[in-house]
Structures are given as structure tokens and as C-alpha cells.
Structure 1
């Protein structure tokens, strides 16, 4: 008879590995199964920058988590603080008037303990100096409540969690998709795979959302979303969600919402599969707050300086998808070129450059050049040059008299050379999922739980609605992954 594991975890991303590590911590035997081969394992985690948002009071909360607590920059670094009240306010800003959900409250309350727990598993962090701070008066000033990312970003997170799994005695099988759930007497007792059934006392579904499934994107998010580029793995086809719903799981959360990011218009259909793991995030283009974005009609369509980009990129990625042809151009001048992130200097970054603004617009295929010239001239004339430009704060340097303002960081685009980066919308993950109980068990429509079935990560609905503050997704994976792992271990008679 084939070996029966206490817990089978479906998927190998951050949430899946958090569940596996938590179950192992409670003494359960754990098998992780992954649809991809070893080279593409790790779900969307390996495509991220590894940033995690969590509650902290100051430097003393952060230094114990660092890979290099002796970094010479630390004595002149101002991390500030990020309170539970700030986290709550940030989430409510994307809820479209909804009150804080139960899942959001759990995310806030457990964010700091979850990060400390992950650090204890051997995952270490480093300050995000290159993206979340600006040097001011000789000090590094962090902004937007997001300070730490895992060492070596998302790929480093996936690698560290895999190493932790191996150290703890867990097993992983690649090229092993779950094709169905095994149910006996109403309880889930294993998974079907192409190589035969695998039995367990509890199953954790942690295999992502439906962002890589064009049909499901169109059905749930809307027309045109089949054209979105997929920032991450091609394997998140909604398999776990479909299996759970077929078993009577309660659909939960906002299925019409998703994390979408401005991406290089020329990127592949799926996330950077031909690039080294460390470069897979480089098609993202999120420095729009330093310039302006124009659509094919030559019009601005968002307030590029509405807030720190941590709070706007998921919404603005969606806004690009709503423009004609699902495209836009990010336009910058020489004054801000040194502030653009490394992804704008990436060897495969696509842009055009010209010494004059008229010359730049002449190089843009598919844009209404006359309208674009008028838009930029009107924008330049509206900039309030009396307010100092300061990228470390919401500087209030905006425009005056425009129907669509730029609220912060507005500067006239008037200094050559000029650059324009063509972008489209890239989907990262979806928001709709299933409802889970206190221990991560999948709930039915009647409020009860499906025995033996647990879920975490993108499978959990109700965490995000019309956007999200950057870094919350990976934190959510750890929070709900740990809960599901402990719950599955308990269901298996461990802990």
C-alpha cells in the first residue's frame, strides 16, 4: 500500500511552504506536490520582489529579522513606524466603502508574528533601500510603510522556504499536478494525480488563483482581460478553486478584482520565463509617479501622484487595461532619469528616446500625437513650481486647474533627453477565492467546514477588494499559510 502522509500541500509558493512548515512544526509528515518542474516551482513567489508589509514600531522590531544586522547604513536609516491603525487605513482605502473584513483583521493582527515566525524558519530580510527609500540630508528615509524584503527577493524567499522544508523533513514532488480530490464519507482524504492517488489525513490547497486562465479572467473580471499579460507562473489556472467549489466550498471575496501592475508592453504572455529568477520582475514599470502616463488618445487617465506607488500600482495596472488597446506610455524627462528603478535600465526594457518632446512623440506608434502634445503642454503649464519637489514624502507639488490633477511630485516635462516607455496591464493574482475558518478549513455554503480540506494564499477570498497596499500579498500568504498548516496538522491528529 502506498504511504499515507499526514498532510498533502498542493502548490509550492510562499503560502504553500508556510503551510507545510507549520504542519511540520506540529509533528505532521508533509508532502508538497507541485504541477511545475523544479525550474518553475515556487508559484508566483519567485516572480516577486519579496517585499512584505507588516506592523512594526521602529528599528528595534526590524533589525532581528535582517540577514545583515551590521549593515553600515542602518545607523543613518529612518524606517519610521507602521502601526496597526495605518495598516487598517491603507486596506480600507481599497475597500470601496466596505468595512474591514474578517480576513483583513487577521492579516493586520498576525502580520508581525507571522514575519517573526518566518524569520525563525531561516528566512532573512534586507531593507529595500533601492525602491522604498530616498537619501535626504545624509539619511535614508523610508516611505509608504514598506521596509523589508526577503534576501535575494522572491527567488530568495522561494529558495529559503524550500531549504527550510528539507531541513524539517518535508518532501516535495515536482511535475505532480493535483487533478482532483479524493473524498470518502464526506471528508477529503487525498488527491488524484496523473501518476495515481495520493492519500493523506488532510489536504491544503495552496495552488494560486485563476490569473493564468484567460477564460476565467474574462468570466470573472470582465471583457478584455483575456489580453492581460500574466506577470507570474502560467500554472495558476484556478485548479484548486475549481476543485473546492465543485465540492461545495463557499465562494468568497471579490471575484471581479485582481492585482494588476503596469508592465512592459513587449513582455511575453507569461512572466519572464526565459530570464534568470532574479530578473523576472524587471518587466514591471512602476515609476509613473515621476512622470505622466498617456493613453492612445493622448490623454492622461490617472492621477499619477495620487499617493505613493505602493498604494496605486495595482489600481493603475487595471486602469491601463481599461484604456483603448490596453496600452499607455510612461513619459519622463532627464530631471528624473536618475530616480527611475533598475527595471527601466534592464537590458530588455523597451523605450524610445529623443532630444525634444516633439521628437519623442513622433516616435510613438499608435498614439494621437496632436492630442498628446496638447496634453503635455497643458500639464506643464499647470505645474505649481512654487512647491519643492521631494520624493520622500507626499510633497503636495501638484497641478492647478486641471480636471484630472497630479497631486504630488508634479514637475514640468521640459528637460531633454526625453523617454517614453510603452506599457500594458499585467495581472499578478486574483482576489476571489473561498471562505476559510479560524484554522484554515474550507467552509461550505451552510457555514460548516469540509472535513480534511484547508486553503491558503490566493485561494482565500475576502483579503483584498479594489486594490491593495504593496507587500500585503506575500504577508497574507504567510499568515493564512501558517494557519492552514496548523489546522491541517491538528486534523491529522498532530500537535
Structure 2
């Protein structure tokens, strides 16, 4: 998959416009969509298939298209009844006959959302998400998007050559986030949606209490107005805005590495709040993961995208720069912990930690993440040598590993495909997948906090209609994607972000 500009797109940069491109009362489109990721394009498709004239405005230039979605692995969490229930819309694969894909019900999905957010998820939004994610992926597939089983990320190959999927997250886009967004752009062109890049949308037009369009700042600083019957906001959160991160997430968050697009600065959230939209969601938390700490160009990297994550950590241990463990690496499948562990690393000295593995575990690490070019990796035949290489006190690291090894309940069979209960009864405990680190060479991977998206956004009903302080719909204004607050708090189940973008993007575009 290439990483350059979209292969098939409507016109990109526009020539200079007059302050308003039509006569008084004339609309530039029926629906204006602000944003350029998965949710925004899904909303555009939903409006376009209804025969609406759709104009999609993306702040990034064409070579940086795709929003945050471009930087993902494309994993999308849906409820299903097992492999036979998925075959009608996923790409065929010769491994299917050798694969076990456990069912993942809507009840499972809802329970996972409530569990990992400590019950702070909006129940009405959750109900819609868990029931509509699967049919909406089928709808997108009917338009031309392509999906597959994610063998390399969500399955382990067993000794008999079969595959067992785990963690409730099984389906993703062909080509990952890059493939997802190339497909979206192609479908938009086929449906007649006009896509304009380099569009710095600065505000919302309101007349008689109804949103009637947007204002755009031109390169020379002048403002242009574009008018429509409805505006759908799908422009992402504020994770790329260091000032907002510090204000809402807390001191130190300005140092987090931005995993995705640098254009998610929160301007459209601010624009909606300015006209009376109500806040929703957990503004003080976000999706943050373990991210390569020292590889050059480790922010908004369009070549490596999601490969800078380090997500095989449940197999080993994580230590800080003092050589001490500080989280339960085996608390749950990584799908349910990876979005919060970046936050824990940010709190450590220097906001850096090291994932530690031995020679027996190294072959099990995800190849796409641990064998990428220029990876921050250290290896040594002994733990003291490894500690010296990474600047950690050798005695502290050796003591930590010895205590961990000695506390493991070896009577329980180690099995990474299930929550095996093989504990390390130390502090902090490791609840599953504990195995002694004894065989050299030993490996260390430096990680820091990589921020993906923020959980605070705008309040809406279940159809994406933005609500004001009194709970009334702001006529003509809709929201979807990371701008929609209420689903996530503190943590989230992997793949539910792209799923929510699809579900509420389609709902918003269906009404707009």
C-alpha cells in the first residue's frame, strides 16, 4: 500500500473564492462534512447515497489525507456469531478452514465497554454501537470497502497449525488504516462527493438558531463562507494541541508523542462550543498507548503509522528507568489495556519505560512492530549487560526480574490465547501469562506515551444531533467520530473507535 496522496479524489485545493461562492440564499452543498477520517467519510457516503449534494472539507493537504484513521491498523470491533457469520463480507483466506473465531455478542461488547470505562460510557450510545457496528461494516463493504480477519494481530497459531482468535477484536480493513482511507476516498468520488483539501474551517454560520454553513480562513487571512442545509462535524479531537492537552489532561501531557494526524487541534470543538453546544465525555482522559520512545520521526509518521506501537507487552514485563515494574502487564488481553498504559508510562521518571523479554519470548513478538526499520531495541546476553545498555541500574533490574521469576505459579499452564491465570504474585501482580525471564539474550524496547485521541467532545443524541445546554438539538448541526463525547472514559476496548466512527457517521449522514 502506498503512502502518498489519495489515488482517486475529487478536486483538492481550490482557487480563490469570493466571500460567498453563490448568490444570496444559494447553497454550496446540501451537506457540508468537516473532517477527513473514517467517520467523516462515512457520514459523507450516507448523505450521498440519499442523493444529497455533499461537500467534504479537510484541513490537511492532499498528501496528508486520511485523518487519524490513516494511522490505525484498521481494526474494527463488531459483534458477531463466529467465523461463519463473518464470511459474507470479509475477504476469503485459505486459513479460514483452520481458524477458530469465538463468537462475540452485543452483550459481550456492551459489557467490555462498561468494564474498561468503569461504567462511565453513555448507555444509549453504547446500545446503538454494539448492535449497529456489524451491519454498518457490511454496508460499507457493499459500497467498496474491504475487510479481512486480522491474523497477524489477533490470533495465535497453535501447534497443530490452526489459529485461535482472541480478545473480541477480529476484523480489520485490507491494507490497514491506509487501505481504509484509500477505499473511502475512492468511494466518495464514485458517489459524487466533492472533497476539498487545505480547508481551514474556523467557525460555524448560524441564522435564526440554525447552523447554515461554515467559515473558512484563506491563505491570505480573509474569510470565506460556505452554506449548506446541514453541517456534520467529524474533525477529530484535540490530541495534537499541546496547550489543550496540558489544560484538560494535566501537566506533562504536553510531552506526549502524537501518533496520528497533526491537524486535530480542537478548532471545531471550540467552534461548536462557541455557538452553545454542550460538552460530553471524559475531557481529562484519552487513548494513549506504548510508543517507540527514541526512533527518529516518531510522531505523525505516515510511512510507519501504527508500527511504532509496542503491543506484545503482555508476554513480558515493563520496567521504568529505575528498573521497577509499575503495572500489571497481564491484567487483561492487550485489547483492553493498551489504550491506558501510555498514561502510566507518562507518569514514570522521564516518561520512558522498557519492555523486557527473553530469548524464548522474542519470536512471539509482533513482527510488524518489533522488526520495523530503526527500532529502538537493545539486547544482551545477560540482564546486567542489558541494564547497562539502557541506562538502568543493573542491580535494580536483576532484583526485579528475580522477584518476578520466583513469584510465578508454575503449576498453571502458560497459554497466551486465553486469560490463563498464571500469576506472578509480586508487587504489582501480573495476573496472566507470567513466564520466567531466564534465557539470554535478553531484549529491551524503549517506550513512551503515544496519544491517539481524546475522549472529551460534544454532546449529541444517538443520531449525532448536537445538543445545547438545555438538551435541545442545534438545528443543522451533527457530530461523529472522535468529536462525539460520551462513549469512552479512561480506557476503551480496542477497535471500538473506528466502529463508533462508522456507526455514528452513518447515522449523522443519514439525517443531514
CA offset at residue 297 of structure 1? 2.2
Q: Is the 8 A contact 2:384 2:395 kept in 1?
A: no
Structure 2 Cα separation of the partners of residues 244 and 213 of structure 1: 17
- The answer on 1:93 being equivalent to 2:115 is yes
Range moving further from structure 2, 26-35 or 431-440:
431-440
Q: Which of 431, 444, 449 is the matching residue for 1:407?
A: 431
Range moving further from structure 2, 134-143 or 26-35:
134-143
SS across alignment from 1:257: strand
Structure 1 Cα separation of the partners of residues 45 and 122 of structure 2: 29
Counterpart position of 2:488: 464
Counterpart position of 1:155: 178
- The answer on 1:433 being equivalent to 2:457 is yes
SS across alignment from 1:15: helix
> Normalising by structure 1, what TM-score?
0.95
Q: Is the 8 A contact 1:234 1:270 kept in 2?
A: no
- The answer on 1:118 being equivalent to 2:163 is no
Q: What is the CA deviation profile of residues 443-466 of structure 1, one whole-angstrom value per residue up to 9, with x for unaligned ones?
A: 000111111111100111001012
Range moving further from structure 2, 196-205 or 228-237:
196-205
SS across alignment from 1:20: helix
Q: Which of 275, 286, 310 is the matching residue for 1:285?
A: 310
- The answer on 1:138 being equivalent to 2:161 is yes
Counterpart position of 1:493: none
Counterpart position of 1:66: 90
Counterpart position of 2:370: 344
Structure 1 Cα separation of the partners of residues 389 and 117 of structure 2: 40
Q: Is the 8 A contact 2:256 2:449 kept in 1?
A: yes
Structure 2 Cα separation of the partners of residues 18 and 8 of structure 1: 13
Range moving further from structure 2, 381-390 or 11-20:
381-390
SS across alignment from 1:179: strand
- The answer on 1:362 being equivalent to 2:388 is yes
Q: Which of 244, 249, 253 is the matching residue for 2:277?
A: 249
Q: Which of 455, 462, 468 is the matching residue for 1:444?
A: 468
Counterpart position of 1:388: 413
Q: What pairs up with 1:225-244 in 2 under 5 angstroms? A: 225-244=253-272
Q: Is the 8 A contact 1:431 1:461 kept in 2?
A: yes
Structure 1 Cα separation of the partners of residues 472 and 440 of structure 2: 63
SS across alignment from 1:468: coil
Specify every segment of 5 or more residues in structure 2 that has no aligned partner in the other structure, as ranges.
Answer: 1-20, 219-223
CA distance 1:188–1:100, change in 2 (3 Å): closer
Structure 1 Cα separation of the partners of residues 451 and 67 of structure 2: 14
Q: Is the 8 A contact 1:91 1:100 kept in 2?
A: no
Q: Is the 8 A contact 2:211 2:477 kept in 1?
A: yes
> Normalising by structure 2, what TM-score?
0.92
Q: Is the 8 A contact 2:291 2:308 kept in 1?
A: yes
- The answer on 1:373 being equivalent to 2:401 is no
SS across alignment from 1:145: coil
CA offset at residue 348 of structure 1? 2.0
Counterpart position of 2:18: none
- The answer on 1:178 being equivalent to 2:178 is no
Q: Is the 8 A contact 2:353 2:447 kept in 1?
A: yes
CA-atom RMSD in angstroms: 1.4
Structure 2 Cα separation of the partners of residues 315 and 120 of structure 1: 34
Q: Which of 340, 345, 348 is the matching residue for 1:323?
A: 348
Q: What pairs up with 1:250-329 in 2 under 5 angstroms? A: 250-267=278-295, 271-273=299-301, 275-276=302-303, 279-329=304-354
CA offset at residue 4 of structure 1? 1.7
Q: What is the CA deviation profile of residues 143-176 of structure 1, one whole-angstrom value per residue up to 9, with x for unaligned ones?
A: 0111111000000000101111000110100111
SS across alignment from 2:288: strand
Q: Which of 2, 10, 14 is the matching residue for 2:38?
A: 14
Q: What is the CA deviation profile of residues 324-369 of structure 1, one whole-angstrom value per residue up to 9, with x for unaligned ones?
A: 211100011110111111211101211111011111011112x343
Range moving further from structure 2, 90-99 or 148-157:
90-99
